[in-house]
Chain A
Amino acid sequence: MICGVVRDMLTGMKITAGYLFRRPITIQYPEQKPIIPPRWRGRIVLTSDPDGEDRCVACYLCQAVCPVQCIDLQAENRPDGRRGASRFDINFARCIFCGFCEEACPTYSIQLTPDFEMSTTARTNLLYHKEDLQISGTGKHPEYSYWKVAGVAIKGQDKGEGINQTAPADYRSNLP
């Protein structure tokens, strides 16, 4: 029995000793930055359309799906016919970075990024407003523009001018 105990101890020490001569996996963070996979679920951003306008159309789906209810927004109708968020708040003190909001977003507006360095000394700093969340790029879906397929008339794109749409129908005509 004692032999068994000694044998187990020696096996463990052998494994430990083996690691003495390998390269360490740990890195000297924060001096040395880790390599984060691109699909990492970190800090949330609001991306822009290819034409630079807000992608968010304030559909409230992210707010509805959020399991911790850390998203709050208010929709507004803009003079150019688009809808967007007049206010968009994410409370990162509450956010669990589950990524449901990104999954629910019908316009690829809300995206999670590989940035996780958001620590702060005051909790109020973790309440991000729209201007804190917005980025100027399109993020993961560079081509997609929701308004091109929505079928809604906006400034610079009349009814029927979107992708895969016919010109407005004329019900007064009898022609085929």
Chain B
Amino acid sequence: MSAKIKITVNGVMHEAEAGRNILQILLDLGIMLPHFCYHEALGAAGACRLCAAMISPGAGKPARLEMACMTRAEDGMIVDITNPQAVDFREKLIEELMLNHPHDCPVCDEGGECMLQDMTVLCRHQHRRNRFPKRTWRNQDLGPHIHHEMNRCITCYRCVRFYRDYALGDDLGVFGSRGRVYFGRMRDGALVSEFSGNLVDVCPTGVFTDKHFRAVYCRPWDLQTAPSICPHCSVGCNVLPGSRHKTLRRIKPRRNHTVNRFFMCDHGRFGGGFVNADNRLTSARFDGAGMSLDDAITQTAERLKEIVQTHGRGAVAAIGSPGASLEANAALILLMKTLEGRFAFFSTGAERAAHKRAAALIANGQVDTPSLPEVEQADFTLIVGGDITREAPMMDLAVRQTIRAGAPLFIISPQAGKLDAFAKAARHAALPEQAAIVSNIAQALDHALMTGQPDPFAGAAASALATAKRPQILCGATGAGGIALVDAAHSLVAKAVRPERPCRLVYWFPAMNSFGISLARNDESPDTIKQDVENGRIKALTILEHGASLDSEWPDDSKPMKSCFTIAVDAIAGKAATDADAVLPCASHYETFGTVMNYEGRAQRFEGLPLPRPVTWSSAEVLLKLIEALGAGEAINRTEYHDLFEIPATMSSLIGTLAPDSEGLLIRSTAAVREVVG
């Protein structure tokens, strides 16, 4: 806790944290002082001059009109935001900002959540006195996601401060001078940054708007929203999808100060198309005949019973999904327990081993896994095992904050990536070779003070690691690098850790709930299940929510699957559902509720949008109905999370009571978590 100071605002004494600017303190106190350019993540710029207030350094000292965002709060300061001089200044200023602002609010997509509208009303500017012509601008085509309408700009510089300074992009800039300041690209073209969608949020008015939302536009106040979690990677960004007229319209970041805070990546923001997709499964099918979901569940249960009776235990199997919630995977495991069947997750045994090892290290507390805001604080970063920009974009954005602070970055990746440009050194090597390079760094760390290293990359990384105060290593546990890479990263961290200096380690995973399914008890290696499907030992296979992504390593639609009765529980008519004998459609991610665990092992609850579709059951509910149809319904209420997953019993009940707007729950076990590596 930092020191407290006393500050008087509008005649009332408040206690506030020292070292912050006055605007921050006022906003935290819930006192609305008009402002534009200040943004909690981007900081103060003093560009808009709107947050003017009468500020006196202390009692008896003369007060002056000053910008609250540019004034550091000191003990005893007296702030008056209602002073007529300040009020008049702000009113005049907003009138000037509005001189060239067009009369297009009715067709502006920002309307309803426009900061300029709010501030104009707040400053009581109502009547435009200026009768001179308005300046206009030509817009640019900024690609498929962002619509540009430069007339609306009030030159607060938030866009370039985010795009260039915060996200380190270089294809959006500011041009011109005085009354002709233009924000755009050198020439028309798509914005290349992975974080360009945040321009929509940071722009206080409608210069940058969401093209997808705009295509089928509605006002934000008409959107029905539900707190959700982005399904696209293991970072688990908190999002707020909005729907209207039975379709998903847009996705916005939702604040969680331990995860994504203000922003989200374009993949998550513009990647909600699967909800409205044409290939959504809407009707159930059994043996080629369409029927109601209830009938299909009953018939599937009958068939499964027959198979178990004929072929005995182990004849049915299931494949879970890292893209489905903990509850859906739990229901799948429970189904297999009911049928004495077998189940696997992941696509290969090697991937499973790597995932399980990484998840066990995190859950056991053997590694210190930072949250995203903590990743931003590091002063040394080593990235190994994949392209973080594509596999966990928001972690890339967090790493960019360390680069801004001057921290060295070292990258070992399979191919050139976007972060290479900021790295002190980047080494490109195939995933299997990366473990050796990490071990080299660990070896070099032992001889950090020696000169003449055989591997200059390892030497440079080791010497930077040795001198760093808050180092971190980000390792992709995708499985292609195998368990060797997971272990190599762990032993490097173990070597780098010193009592006075922690060394943090992130294992990022390929999918939303990879961590969750890695904690599953008694799952088999997918390799053995695959083999048994091929040699006909498995007579029925249930595939959960694999959409279009069922791994190509699974037997294709030729001979083996033919002898096996396949059941697809899915929202999307992908490969798995097209080939399946029984298709049980379920609601998609944004329409359901559940729990997922991100790369830190942070369990987060998400809720579903009320989209009235033919299918409204989640995959978990469909599977539970199937269990009930098998006559094992009473097992459902008896089962807790810790019966199926390596979760401490105390946390199991906490997961059940998680609120979607909470920070989430870090899954850590004090008792040793059993590590099953097959």
Q: In the complex, what residues of B have CB within 8 A of residue A164's CB?
A: 131-134
How far is B215's CA from A168's CA once the two chains are assembled, in angstroms?
A: 25
Q: Taking A60-B222, A169-B137 as contacts, is the C-beta distance between A152 and B102 under 8 angstroms? A: yes
Interface segment out of the listed B31-39, B103-111, B533-541: B103-111
Q: In the complex, what residues of A have CB within 8 A of residue B139's CB?
A: 153, 159
CB<8 Å pairs between A and B, sample of 6: A75-B218, A152-B102, A165-B133, A165-B134, A167-B136, A168-B138
B218 interface neighbour in A60, A165, A171, Cβ under 8 Å? A60
Q: In the complex, what residues of A have CB within 8 A of residue B106's CB?
A: 57, 59, 61, 106-107, 146, 150
Report yes or no: A159 in contact with B216, Cβ–Cβ below 8 A.
no
User: What is the CB-to-nearest-CB distance from A25 to chain B, in angstroms, rounded to a whole number?
Assistant: 44
How far is B139's CA from A164's CA once the two chains are assembled, in angstroms?
A: 19
Proximity string of chain B (510-521) to chain A, C-beta cutoff 8 Å, 1 when within and 0 when not: 000000000000
Q: In the complex, what residues of B have CB within 8 A of residue A149's CB?
A: 103
Proximity string of chain A (59-87) to chain B, C-beta cutoff 8 Å, 1 when within and 0 when not: 11101100000000011110000010000
Tell me whether B303 is interfacial, beta carbon within 8 Å: no
Interface segment out of the listed B173-181, B387-395, B559-567, B618-626: B173-181
User: What is the CB-to-nearest-CB distance from B514 to chain A, in angstroms, rounded to a whole number?
Assistant: 39
Instruction: Output the nearest chain B residue to A107 by Cβ-Cβ distance.
Output: B106
User: What is the CB-to-nearest-CB distance from A104 to chain B, in angstroms, rounded to a whole number?
Assistant: 10
How far is B244's CA from A29's CA once the two chains are assembled, in angstroms?
A: 45
Report yes or no: B137 in contact with A172, Cβ–Cβ below 8 A.
no
A151 interface neighbour in B134, B181, B216, Cβ under 8 Å? B134
On chain B, the number of residues with a Cβ less than 8 Å from chain A's Cβ atoms is 34
Q: In the complex, what residues of A have CB within 8 A of residue B215's CB?
A: 77
How far is B245's CA from A60's CA once the two chains are assembled, in angstroms?
A: 14
Proximity string of chain B (198-234) to chain A, C-beta cutoff 8 Å, 1 when within and 0 when not: 0000000000000000111111011000000000000
Report yes or no: B136 in contact with A75, Cβ–Cβ below 8 A.
no
Instruction: Output the nearest chain A residue to B179 by Cβ-Cβ distance.
Output: A169
How far is B135's CA from A169's CA once the two chains are assembled, in angstroms?
A: 7
User: What is the CB-to-nearest-CB distance from A69 to chain B, in angstroms, rounded to a whole number?
Assistant: 11
Tell me whether A143 is interfacial, beta carbon within 8 Å: no
Tell me whether A170 is interfacial, beta carbon within 8 Å: yes
Q: In the complex, what residues of A have CB within 8 A of residue B180's CB?
A: 169-171, 173
Report yes or no: B134 in contact with A169, Cβ–Cβ below 8 A.
no
Tell me whether B151 is interfacial, beta carbon within 8 Å: yes
Q: In the complex, what residues of B have CB within 8 A of residue A74's CB?
A: 216, 218, 245
Tell me whether A112 is interfacial, beta carbon within 8 Å: no
Q: Taking A74-B245, A171-B175 as contacts, is the C-beta distance between A64 and B136 under 8 angstroms? A: no
Q: In the complex, what residues of A have CB within 8 A of residue B218's CB?
A: 60, 74-75
On chain A, the number of residues with a Cβ less than 8 Å from chain B's Cβ atoms is 33
Report yes or no: A57 in contact with B107, Cβ–Cβ below 8 A.
yes
Q: In the complex, what residues of A have CB within 8 A of residue B214's CB?
A: 77
How far is B132's CA from A152's CA once the two chains are assembled, in angstroms?
A: 18
Residue from B103, B149, B176, B222 with most neighbouring chain A CB atoms (10 Å)? B103
How far is B180's CA from A174's CA once the two chains are assembled, in angstroms?
A: 9
Report yes or no: A169 in contact with B136, Cβ–Cβ below 8 A.
yes
User: What is the CB-to-nearest-CB distance from A153 to chain B, in angstroms, rounded to a whole number?
Assistant: 8
Q: In the complex, what residues of B have CB within 8 A of residue A106's CB?
A: 105-106
Q: Which 6 residue pairs of A and B lie closest in terms of their CB atoms, listed nearest first?
A: A171-B176, A151-B102, A59-B106, A171-B182, A75-B217, A160-B136
Q: Taking A74-B245, A75-B218 as contacts, is the C-beta distance between A168 and B136 under 8 angstroms? A: yes
Report yes or no: B134 in contact with A150, Cβ–Cβ below 8 A.
no
Report yes or no: A172 in contact with B176, Cβ–Cβ below 8 A.
yes
Report yes or no: B216 in contact with A171, Cβ–Cβ below 8 A.
no
Interface residues of A (CB under 8 A from B): 57-61, 63-64, 74-77, 83, 106-107, 146, 149-153, 159-160, 164-174
Interface residues of B (CB under 8 A from A): 102-107, 111, 131-139, 149, 151, 175-177, 179-182, 214-219, 221-222, 245
Q: Taking A59-B111, A146-B106, A150-B107 as contacts, is the C-beta distance between A165 and B182 under 8 angstroms? A: no
How far is B135's CA from A167's CA once the two chains are assembled, in angstroms?
A: 7
Report yes or no: B102 in contact with A166, Cβ–Cβ below 8 A.
no
New contact pairs (5) apart from A77-B217, A151-B151, A165-B134, CB-CB < 8 Å = A57-B106, A57-B107, A146-B106, A159-B137, A166-B134
Q: In the complex, what residues of A have CB within 8 A of residue B105's CB?
A: 59, 106
Q: Taking A164-B133, A172-B176 as contacts, is the C-beta distance between A152 and B222 under 8 angstroms? A: no
Instruction: Output the nearest chain A residue to B214 by Cβ-Cβ distance.
Output: A77
B137 interface neighbour in A59, A60, A63, A168, Cβ under 8 Å? A168
Instruction: Output the nearest chain B residue to A59 by Cβ-Cβ distance.
Output: B106
Q: Taking A75-B218, A150-B103, A171-B182 as contacts, is the C-beta distance between A166 and B111 under 8 angstroms? A: no
Residue from B139, B151, B177 with most neighbouring chain A CB atoms (10 Å)? B151
Q: In the complex, what residues of A have CB within 8 A of residue B177's CB?
A: 174
How far is B111's CA from A106's CA once the two chains are assembled, in angstroms?
A: 13
Instruction: Output the nearest chain B residue to A84 by Cβ-Cβ distance.
Output: B107
Q: In the complex, what residues of B have CB within 8 A of residue A83's CB?
A: 107, 217
Report yes or no: A166 in contact with B216, Cβ–Cβ below 8 A.
no
Report yes or no: A63 in contact with B136, Cβ–Cβ below 8 A.
no
Instruction: Output the nearest chain B residue to A109 by Cβ-Cβ distance.
Output: B106
Q: In the complex, what residues of B have CB within 8 A of residue A151's CB?
A: 102-104, 134, 136, 151
